[in-house]
């Protein structure tokens, strides 16, 4: 059995956190391979090159179109500089350089096309998103220009021009609306597709290689808590938050570029001071935020535990009701909730500390412009308007530079989610890679028509307990084996080893392949679905005709379950609570009738049946020519088996014929 590494919880903003982020984020856009981060980064840069050059071409096109279509007066007033600039670009090699940038970007995509052929949609959407961000920024700048002209014509009482510009203003807003709409839609849609892909990927890996079983408490160890929550919620938070940060960072970069130019012309000192202020502020908030990662991580875990406590009650409602265990259950759920509250309390305190710090940072950010610019004003080096202009530019740039400071709570929560997904992903990868733990002895499995065990030493997955020693056994065709022994001696574990779920130990097991084996536990598994999917499990519903289903029900004496169900096989109920245990066990036999496996494993699979029904289903197995191994305590079982394997104390065992065993009872 794989010894999964214990969950690696990291609560710092470090390279490992970044690696986890890349491990989860990259595969949707580029397959994870050796050195693939370089290719991925290269593609991102190429995308940016293409979008920037396309935006530039769009700007040139729109400007030329506008100059041709719009009134000359407007163009002169609003965009004279721009038209001249565009004309200058058209004369210079600048346009050619942009075309070259575009071609290089497109070339990079062509070079990697083979790898991203099936991933073109996310790249296209990402490119579209970045383009829209440019467009909306451009429109915003345009609107400020138009607004300025509007105000000027109002002040100058130029009525005609005022109305004309008002019309143009409205037109610009109308154009801006669909861009805004697309900008709201696209990230959400991309987030949705990304979530779908990532969730499917996690599900595929979770169910592949029986990871879900190996991470279960019945297996080696519980390496990660609440995998369900990680797949259902953490994935969603990951895709949503990644995209929303991407947009914020992009916006911030654009703001930074435009306003730094303004501020630099006013005061270089102020620009540098601002930089220092933002860097120190960010460093402090990252330090404080580190503490928050752990608290957020615990919050996610405790919330999931709390929810699981409730689900557990729902799943076992009847048993709890029989035991009248309400008080106990309420206590266990309340305890879990109590832990949620306790941790949340810490979260509130740390969030408060951080928000006080953020206020402090915000308030004091107003001082440096005064300290630096006002002396320039007093000394007559700058005019009065520069003060408010520099304060505005300063606050804009500060906002852009301070994303981390202002969003540290959100970032810590995100980092906690990345941690949870990262460790889950890592554990799944370990299980996938090391199907077997090379450092521990393993029982080897071979496929053959019959069951044969050679020198098998079976141990529990934690290798703490030897259950059976040096077991040698082989079954002839159509021969049935009954395993008996006191409770806890390892009967079910032996079945697990035969089914290939456990391989902790030594020796060799030869058995039919997994597809040819059907397992019947004491409490059969009832899946969520209609009667048809119940019966054909683990096959797909369309595989058998209604006549076959009916015949199977007939054979296991269950025909009557259709009597009061007019929907027939499409009836949908909570089967595990509707059917009695005996009915569930017979339904499991109906599955055997339908699937016709070569081999069946029954773990007290008839314990809830009366003797007549037990006789009926075992005779059915015999008539179908299925070989089987059963575990059971009832003496009547001897009638349906040739050989008995008795597990004895001290990991010993013995085999005897069914008749011999019966005689000894």
Ligand X SMILES: Nc1ncnc2c1ncn2[C@@H]1O[C@H](COP(=O)(O)OP(=O)(O)OP(=O)(O)O)[C@@H](O)[C@H]1O
Nearer to ligand X, 502 or 537 (CB): 502
Residue 586 near residue 556 (C-beta atoms within 8 A): yes
Shortest reach from residue 603's CB to ligand X, in Å: 7
> What SS3 string covers 433-463?
HCCCCCCCCECEEEECCCCEEEEEEEECCCC
Nearer to ligand X, 112 or 502 (CB): 502
- Helix ranges (DSSP H) in 3-71: 15-25, 36-69
* Contact stretch for ligand X (CB under 6 A) within 25-33, 348-356, 460-468, 538-546: 460-468
Q: Which residues, other chains included, contact 174 with Cβ-Cβ below 8 Å and sequence gap of 6+?
A: none
By three-state DSSP, how is residue 519 classified? strand
Q: How far is CA 237 from CA 194, 230, 262, 291, in A?
A: 11, 10, 37, 20
Shortest reach from residue 215's CB to ligand X, in Å: 12
DSSP assignment letter at 35: T
Shortest reach from residue 501's CB to ligand X, in Å: 10
Instruction: Please enumerate, as own/partner, the contacts of 12-17 that have beta carbons within 8 Å and a separation of 24 or more.
Output: 12/290, 12/293, 13/286, 13/289, 13/290, 13/293, 13/415, 16/422, 17/415, 17/418, 17/419, 17/422
Site for ligand X contains 467 (CB under 6 A): yes
Shortest reach from residue 485's CB to ligand X, in Å: 6
d(CA 477, CA 474): 10
Nearer to ligand X, 260 or 492 (CB): 492
Q: Rounded to the nearest 5 degrees, what angle is found at the Cα of 87, between the Cα atoms of 82 and 90?
A: 125
Shortest reach from residue 101's CB to ligand X, in Å: 59
Sheet architecture: strand order including 444-447: 444-447, 505-511, 452-459, 466-474
Q: Taking CB under 6 A as the rule, which mask of x and - marks residues 395-434 in contact with ligand X?
A: ----------------------------------------
Nearer to ligand X, 497 or 556 (CB): 497
Nearer to ligand X, 56 or 489 (CB): 489
Shortest reach from residue 216's CB to ligand X, in Å: 9
Shortest reach from residue 214's CB to ligand X, in Å: 11
Sheet architecture: strand order including 653-657: 517-520, 599-603, 627-631, 480-484, 643-647, 653-657
Query: Tokens 């509130």 correspond to what residue?
Result: 348
Give Dmax over CA atoms of the chain in angstroms.
Answer: 117
Nearer to ligand X, 336 or 491 (CB): 491
Q: Residue 238 belongs to what H/E stretch?
A: helix 235-266
* Contact stretch for ligand X (CB under 6 A) within 40-48, 265-273, 373-381, 459-467: 459-467
Nearer to ligand X, 151 or 462 (CB): 462
Q: Residue 131 belongs to what H/E stretch?
A: helix 120-155
Shortest reach from residue 250's CB to ligand X, in Å: 49
Q: Which of 127, 399, 461, 505 binds ligand X (CB under 6 A)?
A: 461
- Helix ranges (DSSP H) in 267-384: 268-315, 317-323, 326-364, 367-378
d(CA 490, CA 461): 12
Q: Taking CB under 6 A as the rule, which mask of x and - marks residues 194-233 in contact with ligand X?
A: ------------------------xx--------------
d(CA 629, CA 643): 10
Tokens at residue 583, please? 């009915």
Instruction: Scan residues 481-510 and list those touching ligand X (CB under 6 A).
Output: 487-493
Nearer to ligand X, 314 or 464 (CB): 464
Shortest reach from residue 488's CB to ligand X, in Å: 4
Nearer to ligand X, 153 or 493 (CB): 493
Nearer to ligand X, 133 or 498 (CB): 498
d(CA 373, CA 385): 11
Q: Which of 318, 326, 455, 462 binds ligand X (CB under 6 A)?
A: 462
Nearer to ligand X, 40 or 653 (CB): 653
Shortest reach from residue 200's CB to ligand X, in Å: 29
Radius of gyration over alpha carbons of the chain, in Å?
35
Site for ligand X contains 92 (CB under 6 A): no
Shortest reach from residue 472's CB to ligand X, in Å: 19
Nearer to ligand X, 495 or 535 (CB): 495
Q: Taking CB under 6 A as the rule, which mask of x and - marks residues 346-375 in contact with ligand X?
A: ------------------------------
Shortest reach from residue 471's CB to ligand X, in Å: 14
Nearest-10 crossing angle of helices 581-595, 611-623:
10
Tokens at residue 118, please? 């099936």
Query: Percent helix, strand, coil in the chain (nearest 5)?
Result: 70, 10, 20
Shortest reach from residue 609's CB to ligand X, in Å: 17
Positive or negative: CA dihedral 549, 551, 555, 557: positive
Shortest reach from residue 128's CB to ligand X, in Å: 50
Nearer to ligand X, 486 or 529 (CB): 486
* Bridge partners, 603 (sequence order): 631
| Number of chain positions touching ligand X (CB under 6 A) | 13
Shortest reach from residue 633's CB to ligand X, in Å: 8
- Number of Cα atoms under 13 Å in the Cβ half of residue 654: 7
DSSP assignment letter at 542: G
| Binding positions for ligand X, rule: CB under 6 A | 218-219, 460-462, 467, 487-493
């Amino acid at each position: 059995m794989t010894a999964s590494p214990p969950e690696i919880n990291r609560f710092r903003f470090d390279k490992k956190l970044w690696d986890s982020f890349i491990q989860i984020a990259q595969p949707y856009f580029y397959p994870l391979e050796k050195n693939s981060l370089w290719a991925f980064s290269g593609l991102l840069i190429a995308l940016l090159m293409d979008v920037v050059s396309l935006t530039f071409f769009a700007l040139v096109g729109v400007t030329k179109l506008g100059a041709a279509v719009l009134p000359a007066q407007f163009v002169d007033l609003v965009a004279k500089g721009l038209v001249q600039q565009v004309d200058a670009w058209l004369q210079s090699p600048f346009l050619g350089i942009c075309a070259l940038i575009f071609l290089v970007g497109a070339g990079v995509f062509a070079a990697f096309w083979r790898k991203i052929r099936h991933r073109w949609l996310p790249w296209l959407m990402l490119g579209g998103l970045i383009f829209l961000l440019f467009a909306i920024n451009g429109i915003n700048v345009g609107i400020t220009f138009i607004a300025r002209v509007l105000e000027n014509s109002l002040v100058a009482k130029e009525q005609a021009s005022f109305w004309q510009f008002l019309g143009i203003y409205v037109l610009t807003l109308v154009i801006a609306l669909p861009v805004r709409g697309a900008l709201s839609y696209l990230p959400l849609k991309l987030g949705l597709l990304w979530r779908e892909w990532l969730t499917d990927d996690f599900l595929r890996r979770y169910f592949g290689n029986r990871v879900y079983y190996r991470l279960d408490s019945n297996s080696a160890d519980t390496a990660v808590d609440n995998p369900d929550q990680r797949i259902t919620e953490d994935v969603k938070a990951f895709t949503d938050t990644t995209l929303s940060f991407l947009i914020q960072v992009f916006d911030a970069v654009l703001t930074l570029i435009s306003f730094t130019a303004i501020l630099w012309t006013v005061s270089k000192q102020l620009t540098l001071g601002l930089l220092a202020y933002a860097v120190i502020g960010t460093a402090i908030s990252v330090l404080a935020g580190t503490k928050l990662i752990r608290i957020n991580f615990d919050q996610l875990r405790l919330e999931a535990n709390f929810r699981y406590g409730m689900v557990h009650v729902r799943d076992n409602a009847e048993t709890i009701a029989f035991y009248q265990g309400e008080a106990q259950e309420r206590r266990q759920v309340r305890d879990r909730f109590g832990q949620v509250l306790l941790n949340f309390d810490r979260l509130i305190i740390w969030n408060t500390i951080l928000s006080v710090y953020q206020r402090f940072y915000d308030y004091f950010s107003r001082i440096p412009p005064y300290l630096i610019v006002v002396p320039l004003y007093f000394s007559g080096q700058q005019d009065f308007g520069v003060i408010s202009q520099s304060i505005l530019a300063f606050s804009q740039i500060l906002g852009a530079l301070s994303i981390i400071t202002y969003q540290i709570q959100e970032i810590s929560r995100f980092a906690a989610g990345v941690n949870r997904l990262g460790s889950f992903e890592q554990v799944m990868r370990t299980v996938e890679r090391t199907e077997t733990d090379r450092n521990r002895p393993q029982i080897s499995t071979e496929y053959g028509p019959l069951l044969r065990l050679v020198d098998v030493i079976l141990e529990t997955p934690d290798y703490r307990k030897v259950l059976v020693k040096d077991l040698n056994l082989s079954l002839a065709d159509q021969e049935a084996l009954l395993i008996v022994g006191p409770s806890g001696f390892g009967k079910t574990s032996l079945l697990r080893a035969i089914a290939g779920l456990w391989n902790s130990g030594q020796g060799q097991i030869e058995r039919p392949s997994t597809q040819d084996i059907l397992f019947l536990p004491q409490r059969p598994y009832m899946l969520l679905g209609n009667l048809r999917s119940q019966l054909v499990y683990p096959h797909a519903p369309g595989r058998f005709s209604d006549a076959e289903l009916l015949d199977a029900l007939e054979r296991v004496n269950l025909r009557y379950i259709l009597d009061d169900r007019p929907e027939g096989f499409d009836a949908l109920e909570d089967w595990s609570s509707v059917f009695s245990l005996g009915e569930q066990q017979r339904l499991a036999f109906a599955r055997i009738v339908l699937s016709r496996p070569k081999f069946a494993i029954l773990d007290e699979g008839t314990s809830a049946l009366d003797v007549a029904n037990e006789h009926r289903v075992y005779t059915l197995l015999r008539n179908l020519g299925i070989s089987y191994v059963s575990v059971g305590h009832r003496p009547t079982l001897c009638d349906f088996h040739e050989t008995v394997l008795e597990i004895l104390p001290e990991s010993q065992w013995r085999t005897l014929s069914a008749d011999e065993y019966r005689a000894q009872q």
